[in-house]
Structure 1
């Protein structure tokens, strides 16, 4: 289902907000989402590889009156993700929501044979999502409730030259999410598919010509907070409401 996003309601929980884990939280969509979730009254647990940025963000959130903690995590390692989830559970006593947001997007034509980049995208964009699901599913099943939010992309709805492998990984995220949704009667599953968004994602493009093209396209990009608002909207719905997919992109994007 594709839906438009109205203004974000307040938290739907009583007492302390939901315990929400966010990967890729050191910048971009993850950082914006964490700030907005905390402002909405949720307790956020931040994960990424750049621990210094996580610490600074958590401190800023706490200084603004929110609840935040953090732990370094490498989503390509199942053990690292399990430790991340375990630490969040120890901090907050629950794991209500996982926002699987970490991702990379090196672009190049297939004939460039950048196999290492292909494998990196598979490891972060697909295995990272699966590792997150594997780590939270036992906890959420025991709780009898939970919510997995997987950040895909409009690239999971179309295929563009230079982005074949990236698109494949985002198609996979949508397929995995739909499979989890169909298998679940006590979990909510949401796919967020952003279009051009101002983040550090293009920093992973090594090909200078490709990066120049991507940077030029970013002239019409929307702020990361726009995606964060969509995630907060899905998280804040009543327990019986499952927002399955939100596609959000700049008006000017084709």
Structure 2
């Protein structure tokens, strides 16, 4: 996994579709993104470059987003892109889209958030990761497994501390200076797991994972995908997941939502 960053996971020969950049999960890895079937476009993954040395991001999600924007510009200058990510990756992608909102070199045509709860709801419910829910492969070396668990715990804390971006109020005049400096969020599709994680079995899944509470009109469409947060990439679920992701990308690429 470690080397070039971003990593090219899928590459289309003609390269006529808008590329998709997926940001790493809370564990810092992009291994799960290799499970997808053909998405019909270039797929890049950005892993946590500090995974190996265990160095913490003292600036949290904001610091990560700034660094990852630089990475994208190094491989996709002047292009349209779709941003997204699973779990913590969805929040980092959201922050990246805010950084790029007034950028003239990279155009974020849409955002895909994969099963991430609205951060204030995580704090309100005091949600904590339960290792028993995680489908960590037995083939993962012990030291790497320990690093993943450590990063997931830190990611949960980062999500709780994250201050969501402020976007332009759509009721303002487009000619106002505020509207120019504070762009509207990109069209966003939420891919939401159908089932609660095993440790919360029986608990209802909040509508839109509480993103309807966000003051910005962010999520336009919700796709339900099979499994729970830690099983959506399982072999039994990945085909339907791939289809939903492919359809979401097509909608965003063709500007069919907004």
TM above 0.5, yes or no, is no
Q: If the TM-score is normalised by the length of the shorter chain, which range does it land in? A: 0.3 to 0.5
- Relative contact order higher in (CA < 8 Å, ≥ 6 apart): 1
TM-score, normalised to structure 2's length?
Answer: 0.41
Using structure 1 for the length normalisation, give the TM-score: 0.41
- Indicate the structure with greater helix content: 1
